[in-house]
Structure 1
Amino acid sequence: MNLIWQAYLRNRGAIIQDGRVVDYGHNAAELESTRSATVVSDLSHFGLIQFSGEDAQSFLQGQLSCDVNQVNASAALYGGYCNPKGRLLASFLIWSQSSSNGGGYVMQLPAELGLGIQKRLAMYVLRAKVKLGDTSDIQIRLGVAGDDAEALVRKNLGQIPASRLGVIQGESASIIRLAQNRFELVVAPEKAPAIWEGLSKDAIPVGASCWDWLEIKAGIPIITPATQEQFVPQMANLEAIGGVSFQKGCYPGQEIVARSQYLGKIKRRMYLANIRPRVSENPVEAGDELFGADMGEQSIGMVVNASPSPDGGFDVLAVIQTSSVEAAVVHWKSLAGPSLEVTPLPYPLS
């Protein structure tokens, strides 16, 4: 996290641990506000990798699951980076940026994965004219969400993208529309305080876990160290949110990803659910295994992401064997553990 920005947020009541805003002293109230009001959140818990140089587009096209040719000054994409076995090493949001901000492409992913993914991708640059750099502290990212988010962003920045994953590169900030009522602003550090002040007049500042909850409810998978190399992209519904292209050329794991799509039904899919642990039990976390009576002691799935729910317990994204969801109650951690209440995702699955 940018140290000057960190000091600024602390002066406004933020409790920060390991570069992540925990909350502003009112965790439960902030979570309820995220459901019912308009909120603003610092997104420094995500890292940024910048790719610049004349071969940046072709290099990324040969490494990532999404069609990088569709990423331009006005359009962002979700995507995945796989190992040769087609298992996700990272999921991300990628956009291009104006030359005034250094040009090239920016990949946003969890900060704890940034250095490792950057080093791995750098191994494959070879003779390509591409430079990779960590720009996490050079650009401040703010999230705005809620019924009044569109009006609030327009009020403070003058314009907004019209469509989902649309981008506007403005003088004060780049604006990415994540959903109808959810936006990300990418801001230069020197401009961030003024924009934060303007937004926080009408939006409630909330911690990173509140933004995590919004991502979960939107069905956006975020691969973390606990879930690296566990899922092919379709298991995490990445193709359903535009993160996989089946028309582009090769990339690591592409043959397995394509075979999973065309030569058989995906046996595991990502579901949205709620889990209510007992008071004596630990919180639900990414990487926790799931079980069902139909498979006995054999795991039938894994939690991808989890966050406290304003309705109680934890809302989760979980990859689960589809036959088990249809045939049996799914349990957290063991057959004796709390059951999952599966709810509809906000997008269809093929």
Structure 2
Amino acid sequence: MKIRIRPSALSFSVRSFSTTFPRRSTSLPPVSTPPNAGITNLNSTRRLILLQGPDVPKFLQGITTINVPNITGNKGVYCAFLNSKGRVLFDTFLYPAAHSSLIPSSADPAFIIEADVASTPSLLTHLKRYKLRSKFTIRALEPEKFTLWATWNTLSSLPASIPKSDLGLIDQRAPNFGRRLILPQGSRPEVDADEVDGEVYRLRRYLNGIPEGQAEIIGGSALPQESCMDYMGGIDFRKGCYVGQELTIRTHHTGVVRKRILPVMLYPSSAERPQKLDYTPGLEIPELTTGADIKRVNRKGRSAGKFLARVGNVGLGLCRLEVMTDVKLSDGMEGGWKEEDEFRVERNEEDAAEEIRIKAFVPSWHMLGNTTASQNAPVSNTPLSLGGL
């Protein structure tokens, strides 16, 4: 049966709440709104690992979700390492690096893995576990010698490729999201943009619904499709055998993904329910526990999702699609979504003087595969465009 797909709106803006909800202390300035063009140094949150030797492509082919032989030239990709049960261990970027003057010269294949700084020791152990007698070397690159940059520009189109001499990639996790570049320490991308703080970049990810790192794609627990890795281009379903493939491919062909990580907006119970994703600089939101349950307001029942992370009043949550959104799953089962429903983040009783409510939003680029939006979904007249080079 042919699935009808109708894009769901995900537009966002910056505004001020008219509410008595307490605002952020002036001693802690609010995170700035992401600029139209910017660059961010990612060295504080990401690390690089170099694999170099004749057996590297074959080795990576057996333990990643991407089809390594399809990586040509300097076209880096987003991918993941899974455990044998199909759970995500590490979300990563993979950069072909044999062409680069930044690494030791060799005729052998070379790849750089970019991973969350918190997971780097575990990833090194994982790589060495599967290496066995394969002929290649593994070493972590010193952050004192290299700088990883994210760059974007919403006002100009992104080139279809990066220069052949560059070590980097186009970040395709969301449409026109930007690029990543690995440069020698002390060098900056040659773009017309100001450098912004890592929190601004993180906010930009959340506004686009992009999870990243162990705090958001929880190692050993998260599933690749629930983490939207299929939508973000991190899984090649035509690929042959690799660690964790069985559950991943079975879910793709025969299963239904009922939960996904979505952008969410937090707001006080005294405020009106938001209709679009709005970042409100300076709005104070009490501390929330990662993994806290999301429940319907004034109704009992199973959890509707899990709160993951936030910058200010915008963040990410693992949401039951048929409960928190009007998305209809391909199996036709009704999940109980009602337009008037509101949701709250569970908090400890001693912290619960002010109820924190939460609303999920479905990015238009999610509307692929096994989901379709209802006819009542609002449709934005302005296409989402968040950056190129």
1:307 aligns with 2:325: no
Inter-partner Cα distance in structure 2 for 1:305 and 1:70: 34
1:100 aligns with 2:101: yes
Deviation at 1:149, TM superposition (A): 6.7
- Structure 1 segment 1-350 matched on structure 2, within 5 A: 27-28=29-30, 31-32=32-33, 34=34, 36-44=35-43, 45-97=45-97, 98-102=99-103, 104-137=110-143, 138-148=145-155, 162-163=159-160, 166-170=161-165, 173-178=166-171, 180=176, 182-190=178-186, 192=187, 195=188, 199=191, 202-225=192-215, 227-276=218-267, 282-284=286-288, 286-292=290-296, 296=300, 298-308=302-312, 313=313, 315-326=314-325, 327=337, 328-333=341-346, 337-347=355-365, 348-350=367-369
Number of the residue aligned with 1:22: none
SS in 2 for 1:238: coil
Alpha-carbon displacement from aligned partner over 1:307-340 (angstroms, at most 9, x marks no partner): 23xxxx1x22222122221415332235984222
Inter-partner Cα distance in structure 2 for 1:132 and 1:318: 35
Inter-partner Cα distance in structure 2 for 1:204 and 1:292: 42
Number of the residue aligned with 2:329: none
Which is higher, the Rg of structure 1 or of structure 2? 2
Aligned AA (1:249): G
Inter-partner Cα distance in structure 2 for 1:90 and 1:272: 21
Q: 1:167 to 1:27 in 2, by over 3 A?
A: farther
Instruction: Check conservation: 1:90, 1:222, Cα contact below 8 A.
Output: no
Q: Could you state the TM-score of these two structures normalised by the residue count of structure 2? A: 0.68
Instruction: Check conservation: 2:65, 2:79, Cα contact below 8 A.
Output: yes
Number of the residue aligned with 1:21: none
Deviation at 1:89, TM superposition (A): 1.3
Q: 1:267 to 1:280 in 2, by over 3 A?
A: same
Alpha-carbon displacement from aligned partner over 1:121-148 (angstroms, at most 9, x marks no partner): 2111011113221115132112222335
Inter-partner Cα distance in structure 1 for 2:209 and 2:162: 21
Instruction: Check conservation: 2:215, 2:308, Cα contact below 8 A.
Output: no
Aligned AA (2:317): A
Instruction: Check conservation: 1:59, 1:130, Cα contact below 8 A.
Output: no
The structure with the greater share of residues assigned to helix is: 1
CA-based RMSD of the aligned residues comes to 3.0
Question: Which of 1 and 2 has higher RCO (CA within 8 Å, sep 6+)?
Answer: 2
Structure 2 portions without partners, runs of 5+? 1-26, 104-108, 270-282, 326-336, 370-389
Inter-partner Cα distance in structure 2 for 1:270 and 1:276: 19
Inter-partner Cα distance in structure 2 for 1:66 and 1:292: 38
Inter-partner Cα distance in structure 1 for 2:146 and 2:198: 17
Structure 1 portions without partners, runs of 5+? 1-24, 151-160
Q: 1:299 to 1:258 in 2, by over 3 A?
A: same
Instruction: Check conservation: 2:288, 2:347, Cα contact below 8 A.
Output: no
Q: 1:256 to 1:109 in 2, by over 3 A?
A: same
Inter-partner Cα distance in structure 2 for 1:245 and 1:68: 10
Alpha-carbon displacement from aligned partner over 1:72-97 (angstroms, at most 9, x marks no partner): 32322111111211111121121211
Instruction: Check conservation: 1:149, 1:182, Cα contact below 8 A.
Output: no
Instruction: Check conservation: 1:219, 1:346, Cα contact below 8 A.
Output: no
SS in 1 for 2:86: coil
- Bigger drift between 111-120 and 297-306 goes to 297-306
SS in 2 for 1:340: strand
SS in 2 for 1:123: helix
Q: 1:85 to 1:148 in 2, by over 3 A?
A: same
Q: Could you state the TM-score of these two structures normalised by the residue count of structure 1? A: 0.75
Instruction: Check conservation: 1:64, 1:79, Cα contact below 8 A.
Output: yes
Number of the residue aligned with 1:17: none
Inter-partner Cα distance in structure 2 for 1:55 and 1:304: 38
Inter-partner Cα distance in structure 2 for 1:69 and 1:304: 35
Inter-partner Cα distance in structure 1 for 2:37 and 2:28: 16
The percentage of counterpart residues that share the same residue type is 17
Inter-partner Cα distance in structure 2 for 1:277 and 1:243: 36
Instruction: Check conservation: 1:62, 1:251, Cα contact below 8 A.
Output: yes
Aligned length: 298
Inter-partner Cα distance in structure 1 for 2:223 and 2:316: 15
Aligned AA (2:32): L
Inter-partner Cα distance in structure 1 for 2:224 and 2:73: 26
